[in-house]
Structure 1
Amino acid sequence: MHRRTLLAAAGTGLAAALTGCIASAGDGADDADDGNSTTESTPDPTPEPVDTVSVASGERLTTVVGDGPAGDGGALKPHHIRLENPTGESWTARIDVSRPLGAGHAETYELDADATVNVSLRVPAAYEVTVTDIDSDAVATESVGPDDFDCNRSWTAFSPGDGGVSISGGSTRMACGSHVVDADDAVTVALGDGSLPTEATKPHGLAVANPTDAAEVVEFAYETPGGAVAFGGAYRLEPGARVGASLTEVREVTLRVARRDESGEGTTEAVTVDKSQFDCNASNTTVSLTDDGGFEARTLSTLLFCGDAERKNESSAEGVGRQSDLQFGL
């Protein structure tokens, strides 16, 4: 059982007050000058209690970040972030896992001896992980990227060290090829925190598809304006396969796609979805592989009137490149 408790801070204010009393009574020579003199001391403010989740000795608590496509039972494995306490004493630490689009994980845990907290990252993306030792204020940080997700089981572990927080990690050593998406199959992840401005505002779909008759490996990355990868990797798309994302937050996102021949030479395409493409219409943008080794980008949208005299989606026609074709209708 995992219990949430208030971890009381040390009695800093009481210690400061006692220090003040000792100072005022200590030096008789000074006090003789004025029998009514006193020495005042302002105690330090007592820190607020820390809300923690307690993990009992020998227990393992697991939480999940993201909705896939990596899974423990699949060919594409998650990357795990662990808090481990191999010591004989309890350890209180705060972990903060952030990603470019979507909710991360932030929590304070009190781990008894041999307790473990496991955060399973399911979307191959760029993550920043910060762990703070509550007692010593020591901080350790680590980055995780899309390349840390493949067929191997992998993890990054944080544990109490000598006056700080220690970082270790590991992985199995299997040879991994590109993740395969089968014919007529689709991989879709949600990118964003779900904070669409109104109930009528629809998410925007953004995908790469292979409508050709031949399987091909494509490299792709969904990037924020700052270049952080919110979802990415190298996938082998069988004919009819599709990999995409549902953008559930009004943010500018660029999808970069590359396909390479046997010599390593590549053809690339970049498509940007801007904020104006989020309204009451169901819409999606697809970058499709073509038989001649290139790409074709196309945006489809319904034609509902959303309270604006101008259809906002018309401004996206130039954003998808020379091969793009903006169409309305299903």
Structure 2
Amino acid sequence: MQRRTLLAAAGTGLAAALTGCIASAGNGADDADDDGNSTTDPTPDPTPTPEPVDAVSVATGERLTAVVGDGPASDDGRLKPHHVRLENPTDEPWTARIDVSRPLGPGHTETYELDRDATVNVSLRVPAEYELTVTDITSDAEATESVGPADFDCNRSWTAFSPGDGGVSVSGASTRMACGPHTVAADGAVTVALGDGTLPTEDTKPHGLAVVNPTDAAETVEFAYETPAGAVAFGGTYRLEPGARVGASLTEAREVTLRVARRNESGEETTEAVTVEKSQFDCNASNTTVSLTDDGGFEARTLSTLMFCGDADPKNESST
């Protein structure tokens, strides 16, 4: 059930009717002032009609679910999504707007009218930084929370918003399993899409940006795909078995920096940072790979096909 209902403030018609009565009161439309001049009583402005709110109705006991992001978390996997919930435990309908924003790619913005015991669940699939804002339409009260990559592991976790004390109440919880780094199996791959798909032309192709382990031993890496403002669009700690790969397809022509770190047996950290510029998005298929090396370091390489893209030079770029 996802019917939409137009909600408007009650009493608007009554206010307009009362305004008409006040304007017509008296012996006539015009009264004389002390000098005998005719004047007109000022008519009060009618009460402004509020804009109707287009809302998705959620019936008693109903549960609606929306998904944000394309993998890698799944409800039955070792890496689980983080859930954002709207819950109405009261006896009165609750109308609320939810805005889930992320650094790269579409989030979720919608207004819901929840009956008693109704629930809306938004499943966040990509470990990243999110801003969650819920606004009570009636009172204009607002609550804001943040979610980060650390909130995504083997536990089921959620952030819940509900009406309370004339505002919006926030609560959260998680199961308590001990979780190690998410493991990508040998010769396996995890790939997510980052961006809103707004590439400059139909011929412009996404750019791939990945971390790969070509060594003979499993390695644990920490990585983050960051925007120029430092927001994490995808990140976490992963254990990469030999041949495993974790990466992203950048579907929006903008600057993104991949930061990777690994530690040796002594706990010493080695880091690498690779930035993809907007100029690297064109008609060529291209990708940047950060490979782990046997000596505990990294090797970064960017490859591209040879297509001539009009205002750009032909290229077969390979940089280390």
TM-score bin, normalised by smaller chain: over 0.9
**The 10-residue stretch of structure 1 (273-282 or 35-44) with the greater mean CA deviation from structure 2:** 35-44
Other-structure match for 1:90: 93
Other-structure match for 1:168: 171
Other-structure match for 1:234: 237
User: What is the Cα deviation at residue 45 of structure 1?
Assistant: 2.5
C-alpha separation in 1, matches of 2:99 and 2:307: 41
**The 10-residue stretch of structure 1 (222-231 or 259-268) with the greater mean CA deviation from structure 2:** 259-268
Query: Is 1:277–1:312's contact at 8 Å kept on the other side of the alignment?
Result: no
Q: Where does structure 2 lack aligned partners over 5 or more consecutive residues? A: none
Q: Does 1:220 align with 2:223?
A: yes
2:186 to 163, 183, 188: 183
C-alpha separation in 2, matches of 1:291 and 1:151: 29
TM-score, with length taken from structure 2:
0.93
Other-structure match for 2:123: 120
C-alpha separation in 1, matches of 2:104 and 2:11: 40
Query: Is 2:308–2:315's contact at 8 Å kept on the other side of the alignment?
Result: no
Tell me which amino acid in the other structure corresponds to 1:105. H
Question: Residues 309 and 209 of structure 1: is their aligned pair in 2 closer, same or farther, counting only changes over 3 Å?
Answer: closer
User: What is the Cα deviation at residue 6 of structure 1?
Assistant: 1.4
Query: Is 2:228–2:257's contact at 8 Å kept on the other side of the alignment?
Result: yes
Question: Residues 20 and 81 of structure 1: is their aligned pair in 2 closer, same or farther, counting only changes over 3 Å?
Answer: same
Cα displacement string for residues 147-200 of structure 1 (whole angstroms, at most 9, x for unaligned residues):
000000000000001110000000000000000000000000000001111111
Cα displacement string for residues 222-271 of structure 1 (whole angstroms, at most 9, x for unaligned residues):
00000000000000000000000000000100000000123332000000
Alignment of 1:188-203 (within 5 A): 188-203=191-206
User: What is the Cα deviation at residue 11 of structure 1?
Assistant: 3.5
Other-structure match for 1:49: 52
Q: Does 1:104 align with 2:110?
A: no
User: What is the Cα deviation at residue 24 of structure 1?
Assistant: 7.9
User: What is the Cα deviation at residue 311 of structure 1?
Assistant: 4.4
**The 10-residue stretch of structure 1 (17-26 or 212-221) with the greater mean CA deviation from structure 2:** 17-26
Backbone CA RMSD of aligned residues: 2.0
Other-structure match for 1:328: none
1:135 to 123, 134, 138: 138
1:292 to 265, 284, 295: 295
User: What is the Cα deviation at residue 5 of structure 1?
Assistant: 1.8
Q: Where does structure 1 lack aligned partners over 5 or more consecutive residues? A: 318-323, 326-330
User: What is the Cα deviation at residue 17 of structure 1?
Assistant: 6.1
Other-structure match for 1:78: 81
What secondary structure, in the 3-state scheme, does the structure 1 residue paired with 2:171 have?
strand
C-alpha separation in 2, matches of 1:301 and 1:193: 22
What secondary structure, in the 3-state scheme, does the structure 1 residue paired with 2:237 have?
strand
Cα displacement string for residues 5-51 of structure 1 (whole angstroms, at most 9, x for unaligned residues):
2122334475266257458859xxxx896797523111232122111
Query: Is 1:11–1:46's contact at 8 Å kept on the other side of the alignment?
Result: no
What secondary structure, in the 3-state scheme, does the structure 2 residue paired with 1:276 have?
helix
The count of residues paired between Structure 1 and Structure 2 equals 313
C-alpha separation in 2, matches of 1:88 and 1:267: 56
Question: Residues 120 and 138 of structure 1: is their aligned pair in 2 closer, same or farther, counting only changes over 3 Å?
Answer: same
Cα displacement string for residues 271-297 of structure 1 (whole angstroms, at most 9, x for unaligned residues):
000000000000000000000000000
C-alpha separation in 1, matches of 2:203 and 2:266: 48
Cα displacement string for residues 87-122 of structure 1 (whole angstroms, at most 9, x for unaligned residues):
001000000000000000000000000000000000
C-alpha separation in 2, matches of 1:44 and 1:300: 64
1:308 to 299, 307, 311: 311
Tell me which amino acid in the other structure corresponds to 1:119. V
Higher helix share: 1
Other-structure match for 1:321: none
What secondary structure, in the 3-state scheme, does the structure 1 residue paired with 2:205 have?
coil
TM-score, with length taken from structure 1:
0.90
What secondary structure, in the 3-state scheme, does the structure 2 residue paired with 1:258 have?
strand
- Work out the percentage of aligned pairs sharing the same amino acid: 85
What secondary structure, in the 3-state scheme, does the structure 2 residue paired with 1:189 have?
strand
